[in-house]
Structure 1
Amino acid sequence: MVSASPAWAQDAEQPQEPVGSAPAAPQAGPDDAAAGEEIVVTGTLFRGSTATTVSPVTVVTAESLEQRGINTVQDAIQQISSNNGPALTNSFTANGAFAAGASAVSLRGLSTNSTLVLFDGQRAAYYPLADDGSRNFVDLNTIPDDIVERIEVLRDGASSTYGADAVAGVVNIITKRQFNGVGGRVEAGITEDGTASNQRLSLTVGTGDLDTNGFNAYLSGFYFRSEGVANRDLPAPYNSSDLSGICFEGTCGPNNIGNGRDPETGQLSAFNVGVYDVYVRPYTATNGAIEGSRYQLLNPAAGCQYGPGYTLTPEELALTGNAIAPTGTNQICTVDTVAKYGVVSPTIERFGGSGRVTARLGDSAEGYFMVNFQQTSSSYTGLPPTIRASANAGILFPPFSTASGPSASLAPGSFALSLPVYVCAGGVGDASAVATGCNATNGVLNPNNPFAAQGLIARVTGRPINRPVENSTRSRVYRAALGVTGTFGADDDWQYTVDATAMHNDLRREQRGYVYIANLLTSIAQGTLNFVDPSQNSQDILDFVSPDNVTDASSDLYAVQATLGRDLFELPGGPLQLGVGGQIRYEAVDAPSANPDTNGPTQRFFTLNAFGTSGNRTVYSAFAEINAPVLDFLEVNASGRFDAYSSGQEAFSPKVGVLFTPIPQFSLRATYSEGFRIPSFGEANALPTTGFVTVSTATLPQSFLSQYGPDCRADNLSGCPNYITAYSRGLTTLASPDLEPEKSRSYTVGAILSPLPSVRLTVDYFNIEKSNAITSAPIDPALAAYFAGQPIPAGYNVIADAPDPAFPNALPRPAFVESQLVNANTINVEGIDVAGLFSYDFGDVQFTSSPEVSYIINLSTTFPDGSTQTYEGTLGNFALTAGSGTPEWRGTWQNTLAFEDFTLSGTVNWVGGYDLSAEDETGPGTAGQCGLSDGYTPCRVDDYFTLDMTASFRANENFTFYVNVLNVLDDLPPIDPVTYGAYLYNPIQGGSGIFGRAFRAGVRVGL
């Protein structure tokens, strides 16, 4: 049994290899850091070997990442087999993520806020923006890639060493303790199709040796850029809104190109008031409908500005379902929004620098000081701005009203924006065009309103500003850390460490081109915005209607921690060890809303969410750990931690583990722990947060569907209008300052088998139960009451959308459901991790094989009424995962051949398939029943495999050349039409595979 002693976490460092050297012994695999090396393993205060840890720990070294062709820490962590469910990838930035510009890990499918991410064993500041507006997390993009030595993943759930947020596990990124010489790299890559180009430059310079000189100092800097990818850059079907080419058993997908028509029936499959070209429809001066009126192109002579047009035949125009189809030229304009504006991934640019000094302080102490700066920018363009849409529900929005006047025009639904009869220089308008202050005496007939001479107003729809909106984030991270470790006492038998960390994240969001409601209404009242010929709008007018929106946010963390330990006395298996410690930390987030409505419902932008949060707290912690090698073959570890928060919460987290090794080749291990997750700032202090979920029409009650025509049924959705079949519902989450911490209970049971020095296999069963889980109350009671015409239950609010113009008397679809966060549910996840490491020398050739697989047996939520929803192998938890679901299987298998100065490595990445169902969308008992499929794809999304290859050649002691071929087989992700975090594929399952085959080449330099 390996004896251990309390040690400073920074001391857990592997010997430095020359930058240009060929790989040494296998450096990655299950529970492996370096062959037999004693280090301070994540999750404990004591020094030991990861080959014999009580807790299951996966260690991935920098050498392993090189062999796999992974060039960023965030990519490495996203590919960990235990990362599942609601992870947050960089691609989400371009698909409406609340926490734009960030990446986060979700171990065990328990979400980003249940995985603790550490930087050299110390906590890091939260990303200022919260995932879904409520879950705080650490952005993986803030880690400096080129000074990372290894990544350790503690896989047994709660850890009493670290306290809050370690419910699902801990990811600890450990940087280099020392570096001597000059090292760097230059690399560039691009896909086979010429997209997703990326470049990376880095340089590290160090001097001194701790053993020889008593000090080491190094500086490191890097630059990384990855170009954005648009949907039009991809092959079909990922590059078009037209899904008619996707067919399954005779059923083909819809043509979702805006205002498309069914070629067999002539029915307009997508015409609605959200079209892109500008349409108008006459209404009376009091905003009353004119019987028989239809929309028409405002400027038919100009043709269609966003896409090709189609002229309806008289027969098609007469169809009942085309009741609001345009007249005049009978022309409808179409637009393929995916091909024209869709974005797969943003442009990302990162650069930064790090410096560290480590020195011996006398004969019994060592100190270090480290600073880091990093800037990460991401940007993408979206659709042209809308002039009438859901200005996402915030604090002051009233429920929708059908009354005329300002109360109707300011509702959160798609209000009826209208062009008045008269415009004047001093006009002040509202969306209903009832009280603009302009008349025949002080104004002129509105040149944008073709019905003005008849005394009629014109309801208007479309996008008269023909330029995409722009979105960008810029995150700057400043971090400093220092620490001292040493011994004291007559026999130097006491060990101590003191660490201090300060980190600040400065975030800026810039959003350009979005329409500011009040300025739009003013421009309409004054007639300054040209709807007839948008190309004539001056830059000054465009800047007035859509001014730049810049929002600054920040987060901070300051922490001081000290530990003290010693060997107490000898036991049959070794010394009984005691470690104690304490920590004080301060954490804060200040993320104001980018679109507040506190000044009134029109003093804000269309479509920008109102979420925001602010708060701070101080945490006082005390912890202790005992390691008892009771016998040569039996080791017991026990620890506990108490945390008290200035916000009033407190928690005690105990943990116990046992390692039984009857023979050196075989060990059994088990752990039991209890943990907690403190309510995040986003949950406790946030402004109302609205996320959108795609509504499955088949789940709507028939009594509601039948209002939209006799043929509108759950089994005949083609008979329903687009108003019902293609919309998203807003779920507005209201914060609750009285939330209690979530509690967790977890245990693991595992075995380690090492029949030969070169062979090791680990198998671990894990079971985590999270009670008192923070969640929004189920919305089913509120929707049931709304559809039944009954009073909405207390604690909820249902906000109706604008009525369908084709069915103005029907009950409108629910636009938003508001509910408050509560401590209510119990979440359970259980599964099995299997990992192996095999190495063998065939003469001068060394072969290494390292498979790792995680299998989720069960992931479920139990509600207060005793009902349970299961999610594994489905798209559930649908809202939490953005429909990316919970695949049961995930794994990697890396194989490497090393021969003198040449290495060749291949890695298979595997993510399991899943059923197109989600019990939180389709109801309990529907898992595996394809409840979210529209029938034109199979009920089950296939497993997804990719193969990556890397070859490197060491030309001499100073230069190593390498080539990566990613996704060698050019396999694109399987089609998933339901997941809404990406278009037609699952971004968690598909990852970067959506780019197809890609190449990267570079050179590493070591002097």
Structure 2
Amino acid sequence: MMTSISLTKKALLLAAATPFAFAMATPAFAQQATPPEQNGVRSGDVAEQNQTTGEEIVVTGSIIRGTDVGISPTTTLTTENLDSRGINTVQAGIQALSSNNGPALTNSFTANGAFAAGASSVSLRGLSTNSTLVLFDGLRAAYYPLSDDGSRNFVDLNTIPDDIVERVDVLRDGASSSYGADAIAGVVNVITKRKFNGISGRAEAGISEDGVNANQRLTLTAGTGDLDEKGYNAYISGFYYRSEAVYQRDLPAPFNSDNETGICSNRTGTTQCGPNNIANGLDSAGNLNGFAIGTGNYYVRPANAANTVATGRYQLLNQAAGCLNGTPYNPTAAQLAQAVNATTPTTVCQVDNTNKYDAVTPNLERFGGSARFTAKVGDSSEAYLLVNFQQSSSNYTGRPATIRANAPAGILFPQFSTSQNQTPALAAGSSVLALPVYVCAARVNCGPTNGTLNPNNPFAAQGQVARLVGALPDTVTSNATRSRVYRAAFGLKGTVLNDIDYDFNATAMHTDLRLKTNGYVYIQHLLDVIADGSYNFVNPGLNTQAVRDYLSPENITDTSSDLYQAQLTLQKSLATLPGGDLRLAVGGSIFYEAVDAPSANDDYNGPTQRYFTLNAFGTKGNRTVSSAFAEINAPILSVLTLNGSGRYDHYSTGQSNFSPKVGAIFTPARQLTVRGTYSRGFRIPSFGEANALPTTGYVTQSLSTIPAAFLAQYGAGCSVATPTGCPTYLTSYSIGQTTLASPNLKPEKSRSFTGGIKIDPIRSLSLTVDYYNIKKTGAITTPDNSPAIAAYYAGAAIPTGFEVIADAVDTNNPGARPRIAFVRSQLINADTIKSSGIDFGINGAYDFGPVKWTSNLNASYIIELSTTIDGVKQRYEGTLGNFNLTAGSGTFEWKGNWLNTFDFGDFALSSTVNYTSGYDLSATDQGNDYKDCGLAAAYNNCHVKSYITVDANVNFKVNDRFSFYVNALNVFDRLPPVDTVTYGAYLYNAVQGGDGIFGRQYRAGVKFGF
């Protein structure tokens, strides 16, 4: 395998040079003007295209229309390009951008506990989802009502109306001088069709070779009218898209099981293999790996009436029925004698939770419709009205609902228990739930005179309570989101007073998001059914649906967001310079944005009036932003153009900012272009950062970060060197990083510059190299919590500004000090974040008689992604960090794709090579040194391998009106490399692996047009 990977890398590098070398070696071949690059169009290429078609030039990143000097580097995705690559949604095409890195939010995160469930977002330059601005036709869009990681505002890519998209311009440069906040890393501008005439559509379906990830797509568009001849054009369009959920059990090993013993490494000098994390399973030495309670079974243990002293071991509540979920196993006497199994039952239930319950991706369904009317107004103006509706839904099922847990993210209340003859409440000295001796309808002060012996408590006759652990055997959790987006846009543009061009645009967008959860235990209702005996714990299958619904009532939370914007731009030619017209544009904008996302699990009515484990995040806010901006474009010479722009934004919440930008482009010869920009930008604190309820993200905890003295209390055999001697309580858990909002946060500020060259050695070949360097100051972040974690484990005082909250006690070691559950701290303006790198592009088009070959290669290399806190720099490129930005999805140094298409006229064959580099299992914000392998367990290699896939597409043109195509994705059936640390997917990195986790896939479809 190592050899094949190395060869593939070499082949990719050779392939990158092929178009250039081939062109240099064959100058006699027919040459033609380079067509617009299908995945890397530069601004100048767009200008050249539009000059031949007569369309108005619209440049992303500029408010001046009618000219384009290509100062800022831009990538353009066209629908034709996505078809050639076998990509069937615009969202997926944006995620595949070489400049999209690290903290991107993919649809697969929806089924893995994402705060922003049901959404997808882009992260240019690895600077996270809140530093990339997404626009529709140059206008802002409403935020997704739920924030990424509970703090970052972003626009959901799933709201893009795929069926009417003309192209997507990706400006890889700061653009606050044109668009205001959030455009620090770049801009994604979705351009919709201005006009359409006739009828067109498509129908397609796909599935993996293993029979999973089935998906279907339907589109239909109809239009009439001619703007030039009739003065109007109108079209309507609709689409439907569906993708079936995939579960871990559908995948091959090792991604389909909690048993990781097949993952081995000899990096420590001896071969070591991963743990068997199957609940109540055996490790490689035959030891029971602790007593796991989350298996969909009930276990009980006798305790005195006050529930302060327990005796004996746990046992299955209904021993005659055995395991309600899983396979029974009877531990040997030697296994039970181990310290970590002090309370383990003589019969345990072995359950592979990952295999049985966990989802890879959710069920996805999207449909919507659009309508646009465009008309000439008089001799010099044009108006349009565009309306859209789209609904996106996702759902998946999870694990059995828990009946014992810490407070959900961010909300604090003591762990609870029940004791005899009193309301199930907070009993001192115990954090273990218990079934009382007596039950009664009143639920309080139950005793022999007003109640009956508890039929669920096998120890009731002896006057003992039954400590209860486990998860609901008859109920699994389920999660669903339904997003409805309503958008309207109006525009009027033209010329007044003979030489002043005006452009007025207005938009309104509303997002209505409904979150629906089922199966989660409502705490007070759990206490109720325990006290009155109405829930049958002994035989859960006998419970009525009404009882189950009372214990786990459906939770529906409605959230929304809004955006209203109006913008006017005026421009005029001031003079004629040697290189062309000196043009000035000025404008103003006002927009209102709001988010209303109440908590799905607040504790306003008390600590038990809520659900176990549901996140408590919630936020609400609104603001109005007034802006003024200007831009001047000066072609000083025929070979030199200067450009300057600036924008002032004022927020009703008190913040203001001025963002300038200057740039130049120099063309000393037709074959050579040199360009550069310098700009300043800003990011306004999000609603979640400024005024939200506490929110928590989870970080996998490595055993190596826990001091030996702390481990020793869990048994003499528990150490970093012998992790198999430690309970899974320590070897498999995550720490919650709870973030508290702050209304005093200031805007993040940025400065960025780019410098690039474009070489056109012949008209059929173009090479581009662009350097970027972005620096954010006052970056909003959670303070480094590693000192607080270290202090807790060492028994020292917790540093000021942090609060460490202990987890529930280990069932097997109730006397030991528990692990950490949450570390709380408040957001601050502290970091300096730097991102720098180089983008490469090679694009060629060649005619070989009846065959036309086009080749487009795009690659991005991150030189540095770092944060500086209190003068200490932490670097992340090529590692899993920054966890504050990426939640551990990593920063890839290299990412790229190479598309080749051979067009034979009625037949076209395309192939795309996709590459994402590997990374070190470390992160400096987790207490590691740079690339020190600090997060890798002994059974892991330090470095996660690079990932390469190849896709193919074949298109057959039957006639001018009809064609069909076949996609083969991941042709060589390459699965993502194993990563046991990354959060958001099981044993692989969802951002690196993408849809490759499904293996080889096929898709076929038909397209028609009349």
Q: Tell me which interval the TM-score lies in, with the shorter structure as reference length.
A: over 0.9
How has the CA–CA distance of structure 1 residues 551 and 25 changed in structure 2, closer, same or farther, with 3 Å as cutoff? closer
1:681-720 to structure 2, matched below 5 A, reads 681-720=687-726
**Match of residue 997, structure 1, among 996, 1000, 1008:** 1000
* 2: CA distance, partners of 1:278 / 1:34: 69
Tell me how far apart the structure 2 counterparts of residues 171 and 388 of structure 1 sit (CA, whole Å).
Answer: 45
TM-score (normalizing by structure 2): 0.93
Q: Secondary structure at the match of 1:92?
A: helix
Equivalent of 1:129, from 146, 160, 173?
Answer: 146
Q: CA deviation at 1:274?
A: 3.8
Q: Which residue of 2 aligns with 1:149?
A: 166
What are the residue-to-residue correspondences of 1:258-269 with 2, within 5 Å?
258-262=279-283, 264=285, 266-269=286-289
Count of paired positions? 965
Structure 1 residue 804: Cα displacement: 2.2
Shift of 1:648: 0.4
SS at match of 1:555: strand
Which residue pairs with 1:477 in the alignment? 485
- Counterpart of 1:466 in structure 2 is 474
Q: Are 2:40 and 1:37 aligned?
A: no
Stretch moving more, 588-597 or 568-577: 568-577
Partner of 2:976: 973
CA distance in 2, matches of 1:332, 1:737: 50
Residue 257 of structure 1 corresponds to which residue in structure 2? 278
Letter in 1 for 2:471: R
Residues 782 and 884, structure 2, Cα contact 8 Å, conserved in 1: no
Deviations 1:656-692 (A, max 9, x none): 0010111111011110000000000010111111222
Structure 2 unpaired stretches of 5+: 1-33, 52-56
Q: What displacement does 1:55 show?
A: 0.5
Alignment of 1:248-647 (within 5 A): 248-249=265-266, 250-262=271-283, 264=285, 266-291=286-311, 293-326=312-345, 330-395=346-411, 397-398=412-413, 415-427=431-443, 436-489=444-497, 492-647=498-653
Counterpart amino acid of residue 866 in structure 1: G
In the alignment, which of 957, 960, 965 is matched to residue 962 of structure 1? 965
Counterpart contact for 1:508–1:553, Cα < 8 Å:
yes
**Cα gap change, 1:280 to 1:321, in 2 (>3 Å):** same
Answer yes or no: is the 8 Å Cα contact 1:399–1:411 preserved in 2: no
Matched, 1:741 2:747: yes
Q: Distance in 2 between matches of 1:996 and 1:253?
A: 24
Structure 1: stretches of 5+ with no match in the other structure: 1-22, 428-435
**Which residue is equivalent to 1:20?**
none
Paired position in structure 1 for 2:916: 911
Distance 1:970 1:502 in 2: 44
Whole-angstrom CA distance in 1 between matches of 2:415 and 2:318: 31
Q: Deviations over 1:394-417 (max 9, x none)?
A: 44x246699999999669999411
Q: Distance in 1 between matches of 2:431 and 2:678?
A: 56
In the TM superposition, residue 493 of structure 1 has moved relative to its aligned partner by 1.0
Partners of 2:281 and 2:926 in 1: CA distance:
28
Q: CA deviation digits over 1:627-648, x for unaligned, max 9?
A: 0111111111000000000000
User: Partner amino acid for 2:253?
Assistant: A
In structure 2, relative to structure 1, the CA distance for the partners of 1:411 and 1:69 (3 Å cut) is farther
Check whether the contact 1:267–1:321 (CA below 8 A) recurs between aligned residues.
no
Which of 928, 939, 943 does residue 940 from structure 1 map onto? Answer: 943
Shift of 1:469: 1.2
Aligned to 2:932: 929
Q: Is the 8 A contact 1:400 1:413 kept in 2?
A: no
The Cα shift of 1:441 comes to 1.0
**Deviation digits for residues 883-937 of structure 1 (CA, Å, limit 9, x no counterpart):** 21011000010000111111111111111111111111133xx222211111223
Q: Distance in 2 between matches of 1:346 and 1:151?
A: 26
Distance 1:467 1:849 in 2: 53
- 2:114 paired residue number: 97
8 Å contact from structure 1 (residues 398, 411) kept in 2? no
Q: Among the aligned pairs, what percent are the same residue?
A: 62
2:509 maps to amino acid: M
For residue 376 of structure 2, what is the amino acid of its counterpart?
A: R
Distance in 2, matches of 1:941 and 1:593, equals: 37
Alignment partners' CA distance in 1, 2:333 and 2:910 = 65
Q: Does 1:226 align with 2:243?
A: yes
**Corresponding residue for residue 881 of structure 1:** 886
Aligned amino acid, residue 116 of structure 1 = L
SS in 2 for 1:300: coil
Structure 1 residue aligned with 2:810, among 804, 819, 826?
804
The 3 A distance-change label for structure 1 pair 324 and 367 is: same
Contact 1:562 1:582 in 2 (8 A): yes
User: Per-residue CA shift, 1:682-733, capped at 9, x if unaligned?
Assistant: 1011111122211111112233222222333233322322222221111111
Answer yes or no: is the 8 Å Cα contact 2:339–2:715 preserved in 1. Answer: no
TM-score in terms of structure 1 length:
0.94
Q: For 1:267 and 1:145, locate their aligned partners in 2 and report how far apart those are by CA, in whole Å.
A: 54
AA of the residue aligned to 1:912 = S
How far residue 361 of structure 1 moved from its aligned partner, in angstroms, is 0.3
1:804-840, Cα deviation, whole Å (9 max, x unpaired): 2433333221211111111011000100000111110
Q: Deviations over 1:462-513 (max 9, x none)?
A: 1234232111000000000001000011xx2110010000000000000011
Query: Partner of 2:475: helix, strand, or coil?
Result: coil
Q: What CA distance in whole angstroms lies between the structure 1 residues aligned with 2:705 and 2:866?
A: 21
Alignment of 1:815 with 2:831, yes or no, is: no
Kindly indicate whether the alpha-carbon contact (under 8 Å) linking 1:831 and 1:854 is maintained by their aligned counterparts in 2.
yes
Q: What root-mean-square deviation, in Å, do the aligned CA atoms of Structure 1 and Structure 2 show?
A: 2.0
Structure 1's 67 and 373: CA in aligned 2 closer, same or farther, altered over 3 A? same
Counterparts of 2:704 and 2:761, CA distance in 1: 56
Who is 1:951 aligned against? Answer: 954
Which whole-Å CA distance do the structure 1 matches of 2:631 and 2:805 have between them? 53
Offset from partner CA, 1:151-210 (integer Å, 9 cap, x none) = 111101243100100011000010100000001111111111111111111110000111
Cα displacement (A) at 1:574: 1.1
Q: CA shift at 1:299, angstroms?
A: 1.1
Measure, in 1, the Cα distance between the counterparts of 2:822 and 2:652. 35
Using the alignment, how far apart are the partners of 1:835 and 1:961 within structure 2? 30
Match of 2:9 in 1: none
Contact 2:384–2:490 (8 Å) recurs in 1: yes
Contact 2:290 2:340 in 1 (8 A): no
Equivalent pair of 1:185/1:202 in contact (CA under 8 Å): yes
SS at structure 2 position matched to 1:190: strand
Contact 1:390 1:412 in 2 (8 A): no
Question: What residue in structure 1 maps to residue 27 of structure 2?
Answer: none
**1:267 Cα offset (Å):** 2.4
Contact kept, 8 Å, 1:400 with 1:800, in 2: the verdict is no
Decide which moves more: 445-454 or 311-320. 311-320
Q: Deviations over 1:567-599 (max 9, x none)?
A: 100111111110001000000000000001111
Per-residue CA shift, 1:352-408, capped at 9, x if unaligned?
00000011101010000000000000000000111111231444x246699999999
Q: Distance in 2 between matches of 1:686 and 1:295?
A: 41
Separation of aligned partners in 2, 1:29 and 1:725: 46
Structure 2 letter corresponding to 1:529: Y
Work out the CA distance in 1 between the residues paired with 2:419 and 2:583.
76
